[in-house]
Amino acid sequence: MALFALCVALLLSLSWPDEWAWCIAPILVLLLVEGWRNERHLVQRVGCLALDVNGEWLWREARWRTERKADWLPFGVLLVLRNQQGKRWRLWLMHDNLPPGEWRTLRACCFLHEEQTLP
């Protein structure tokens, strides 16, 4: 949300030619709608996530299977999960949102599970 506030402040601080002054209001509305939409998506993806011994994720009282190999970056991991009803979620788990020990445990569990499922 801070990024959107920064964009709005930058937009308002720019000197616009008189012919383009009418564009400010629609652009501000679009920025605010996009900020609201992103905030809503973030709120939807909150909850406790656990990995069971079978390699299935437990989230929101449902079982989710990993649809593809996790994409690991130094600052986070992208999990693509699918439940039994076919609903798919993409979840970014960020390194700075977990204590270091839990981050290492998550990495180890994911890598061990990936090795076990390889043909």
pLDDT in tens, 58-88: 988 899 998 888 899 989 999 999 999 999 9
Give the C-alpha separation, 76 to 98, whole Å: 10
Q: Cα–Cα distance between 22 and 48 in angstroms, integer?
A: 46
Asked if residue 81 and residue 108 are part of one domain, the reply reads yes
- pTM passes above 0.85: no
| Higher per-residue pLDDT: 12 or 33 | 33
Side chain identity, residue 98: L
Joined tokens for residue 98? 């977990």
Host domain of residue 102 = 49-117
Asked if residue 32 and residue 81 are part of one domain, the reply reads no
Do 94 and 110 belong together in one domain? yes
Query: Are 73 and 87 within one domain?
Result: yes
Q: What is the DSSP letter of 14?
A: S
Residue 82, pLDDT score: 94
Q: Are residues 84 and 65 in the same domain?
A: yes
Does 106 lie in the same domain as 53?
yes
Return contacts of 55-64, CB within 8 angstroms, 24+ apart: 55/113, 55/116, 55/117, 57/81, 64/89
pLDDT of the residue at 53: 82
Q: Domain count of the chain?
A: 2
pLDDT value at position 119?
45
pLDDT at position 116 is: 59
